[in-house]
Amino acid sequence: MIEVLGKTNIDFMGWRRYSFALSGVLALFGLVAMVQIGRGAANLGIDFAGGTAVQLKFEKAVPIELARQALITHGLPEVELQEFTADNKLLVRVKAQTAIEEKVADKVLDAFKKVFPDNPFVVDSSYEIGPTIGEKLQEDALKAITISMVGIILYIWARFEFRFGIAAAIATFHDILAVLGIFYVLDKEITLLIVTALLTLAGYSLTDTVVVFDRIRENLRARHREPLEKTINNAVNQVLSRTVVVSLTVILVLVPLTFFGGEVLHDFSLALLMGVIVGTYSSVFVASPLLILWKGTPGKLLRR
Amino acid sequence: MKPVTGRLVLLAVIVIVSLVMFLPSTPLFSKMPDWWKNYFPAKGITLGLDLQGGIHLVLEVEADRAVEIALDRAATNMTVLFAEKKLQVESVTHTTPTEITVSLGAPEAKDGVLKLTDDQFPFLTSRSPSDRVLVFSLRSGEADRIKKQAVTQALETIRNRVDQFGVAEPQIQQQGLRQIVVQLPGVKDPGRAKALIKNTALLEFKMLDETHKVAGMLPSRVPAGKEEDIIREFGPQIPPDDEILFERTIDKESGRVTKTPYLVKKRAVLTGDVLTDARVSLGEFQDAYVSINFDSTGAKLFERITAENVKKRMAIILDNTIYSAPVIQERISGGRAQITGSFTTEEANDLAIVLRAGALPAPVKVIQDLTVGPSLGQDSIEKGVRSTIIAGVIVVLFMVFYYRLSGSIADFALVLNLVCLVGALAGLNATLTLPGIAGIILTIGMGVDSNVLIFERIREELRSGKPVRPAVDAGYEKALLTIVDSHVTTLITGFALFLFGTGPIKGFAVTLCLGIAINLFTALVGTKVIFDLLNRRGRMDRLSI
């Protein structure tokens, strides 16, 4: 039998002061990011903000400054450029609250055709999104998050106790906020794919939390004389090896995806990767101590 | 112990069904005998636009314009009718977007006008602010009907155009009240396809106004892009029922585009809705033109117009661009006309398609345009598949390394998972997108999780001194609740994504939900049956876990 961890007896609950402080800071980043998104000041992808994104693949490398100059002289002063030097790719983004009728994509292509006549390119992808679509997407994303949160609280309430549901929801929301906050600080673009990643990691973190809660419930039923703090600590220690093994495996899956999955999957996998780390942390250090913090009357689990 | 054979047969059946479903998605399918192709599913997984390239357009029908256009047409028809019946009417004008004002030459004409309009335009209601003026507007509910119909008709027209353009498996559907989603996978020439879809293709014949002084003042040629300047310069001087439109000319040698301004009457004498056919023909210099046929009403109207306007010039206009402005030499009967202009065979071909499919009832606005070139799609597939394989191999090796024999049982479950998942996706004819691939990878993660949960439980039981078989049974039993709980919660998230996600996100949600359901089955039935099988072959003293 190979074991990463033997039988452990770590006092996780004793660390809750530090973990709550750390989580508070992480969640704060996330809240700031939320407010900034609401104000439209964050780095929102064009699928949310509306605008144009054209990705081109050139035959020869194009110096990014020359490309920028080319666009400025052809009437596109406010562009964001990103290059993927490995295969001479260039991503041009123009965020705008205007209708598509302006044909920004065509302007970009014309500019490059004129300025780099001996460096032909192919259009990898071209996205043009009107602002109304973006608003609807934001609305839908919020709806999806709200509905899944409510659904989860209800389910866990039914299976455990109300405070378990709330604790799980807080922990999950904390994870979403933390990753969103990190992305905001890193100035990564918040796209629809990133929102998917956030929801996925919500699912993952929840699984983690439910596994711990399940053990707590089991222990509560078996030994309800023990102090709550000790019961929870034991439960966390008992499932610790599972938590570590699963997280390690998922990280093993995500690392190749992040580094070899291509530019489309990179940010998505990165968000998931951070989500797995934060999610594992939160099930041990956020969700479980929250149960101690909430000193309600013992619910049905303790009475049984 | 429950009998093993039944469960083994069930597993085998599921695997075989999955493989049969997935077969059409592999190159192997083309080599299968005909009877197989006839009796078994022939449609597998479709690749999403991000994987095979193509266009995803969201169009919004400007339905308010459809109402204006309907009133415009009513106003034109009124003018013609009043003239035919020789009623004393001074003018018919489309005053506001929703109203037509008719000025009468004498108060006595009112009854005649109303009798005629009640008969011919039942959708209009009238009021009379003074005894020489009648104001017509749409009956209540009529505007909504026109708007709704405009969207349905636009959908139909776009479908016709796309069908004639020839795209494999296009998807065209209404979304919400005013939007139309068009998905064209694998299109080679996105620009051409887009133009074909979104051009209104409103064909109009309008008379040139050659008598007004501005007509003589207009320059004969301006470079493309200077149209605004001309309109700004001459616009204020032209009569209210005239407008300036431009003819586009391309110099064959230099490829330079120039525009010729014309002063034309605003009112169209004939529009494209009287068309029955449009074909591409080649002229004597191998230049392409489009010949059109009118229906009987159109033919009669065209004959009358040409007879009344001999030696005058008539402009043939498509979407406010003049294609040509020939001089009418004589009365033209027979209901045939030609649209010439400087276009390539390809452009003439597309023009014929849009004319045959009919004009859009109102202009459409592109509010979302996602185009993925085929090269990026190829790239994405390669990278996505490669990283998925790397991830899969790492997980398989890790499980065997960490859990030994039991690890390979878990690996068997993972493979089973994957086979069932692709089978289910193929069976549903689902569309596989990049996020979908990510969803598959996540399912692998969930599969590992279930097995780890079970194995850790079995280890605990073994540590507490239980023999192998009871330990395995207890491990499964105790892990069951946890696995169900964790899967249901993830399923809730997946379901929320499915409800509110669009396009690729939906694809992700579908893979995730299917994967979770399948995973629940393989983890609880698939691996257990192997353990039971091992146990049946005689008592195991030690379990390699």
Residues of chain A with CATH 1.20.1640.10: 13-44+133-303
Chain A residue whose CA is closest to B384: A261
For residue B55, give Cα distances in angstroms to A125, B140, B333.
10, 39, 43
d(CA B219, CA B317): 20
Average pLDDT of chain A is 83
Q: Span A13-44+133-303: which CATH code?
A: 1.20.1640.10
pLDDT value at B53 more than 50: yes
Model pLDDT, residue B502: 67
pLDDT value at B106 more than 70: yes
d(CA B248, CA B406): 75
Size of interface A-B (CB pairs under 8 A): 211
Domains identified in chain B and CATH numbers = 5-50+374-536 (1.20.1640.10), 63-142 (3.90.1070.10), 199-371 (3.30.1360.200)
How far does A84 lie from chain B, in Å, by closest CA? Answer: 13
pLDDT value at A100 more than 70: no
| CB proximity under 8 Å: A 10-49 to B | none
Model pLDDT, residue B359: 81
Model pLDDT, residue A301: 55
Supply B350's token pair. 């597309």
Chain A residue numbers with beta carbons less than 8 Å from the beta carbon of B512 are: 200, 203
CATH of A51-129 among 3.30.300.30, 3.30.70.3400, 2.60.40.1930, 3.10.290.10: 3.30.70.3400
Q: Using alpha carbons, select from A44, A142, A55, A36 the residue that is nearest to residue A97.
A: A44
pLDDT band at B139 (very low <50, low <70, confident <90, very high): confident
pLDDT value at A8 more than 70: yes
Query: Running DSSP on this structure, what letter comes out for residue B449?
Result: H
Model pLDDT, residue A182: 93
Q: A203 and B444 in contact by Cβ < 8 A?
A: no
| CB proximity under 8 Å: A 136-155 to B | 137, 140-141, 143-145, 147-148, 151-152, 155
- Which of the residues B60, B187, B364, B368 would you substitute to probe the A interface, choosing the one with the greatest number of A C-beta atoms within 10 Å? B368
- Token look-up 């692709």 returns B422
pLDDT value at A175 more than 90: yes
For residue B536, give Cα distances in angstroms to B237, B465, B472, B530, B540.
100, 21, 13, 10, 9
Chain A residue numbers with beta carbons less than 8 Å from the beta carbon of B383 are: 260-262, 265
Q: Could you write out the DSSP letters of every residue in A268-289?
A: HHHHHHHHHHHHHHHIIIIIHH
pLDDT value at A304 more than 60: no
d(CA A244, CA B346): 62
Residues of chain A with CATH 3.30.70.3400: 51-129
Tens-place pLDDT, residues A181-202: 999 999 888 887 788 788 778 8
How far does B407 lie from chain A, in Å, by closest CA? Answer: 11
Is A103 in CB contact (< 8 Å) with chain B?
no
Model pLDDT, residue A178: 95
Residues ≥6 apart with Cβ < 8 Å to B119? none
pTM score, whole prediction:
0.72
Number of H helices and number of E strands within chain A?
Answer: 11, 4
Is A240 in CB contact (< 8 Å) with chain B?
no
d(CA A81, CA A91): 6
E-state strands within B13-118: 46-47, 54-61, 89-96, 99-104
pLDDT value at B84 more than 50: yes
Tens-place pLDDT, residues B411-466: 988 889 989 998 999 988 888 877 787 788 778 778 888 898 899 899 989 988 88
Tens-place pLDDT, residues B522-532: 888 888 888 88
Q: A124 and B372 in contact by Cβ < 8 A?
A: yes
Q: Using alpha carbons, select from B438, B457, B426 the residue that is nearest to residue B523.
A: B457
Inter-residue contact B349 to B281 (CB < 8 Å): no
Model pLDDT, residue B389: 83
pLDDT band at A171 (very low <50, low <70, confident <90, very high): very high
Share of chain B above pLDDT 90, in %: 9
Q: Residue B361: exposed, middle, or buried by beta-carbon count in 10 A (0-12, 13-18, 19+)?
A: buried
Mean pLDDT of A266-286: 90
B305, containing H or E segment:
helix B296-308
Model pLDDT, residue A299: 55
- Give the total residue count for chain A: 304
Residues ≥6 apart with Cβ < 8 Å to A5? A240, A241, A244
Model pLDDT, residue A60: 85
Share of chain B above pLDDT 70, in %: 98
Tens-place pLDDT, residues A223-253: 767 788 888 899 999 999 888 888 888 888 8
Backbone phi and psi for residue B160, each to the nearest 5 degrees, phi listed first: -60, -45
Residues ≥6 apart with Cβ < 8 Å to B465? none
- Give the total residue count for chain B: 545
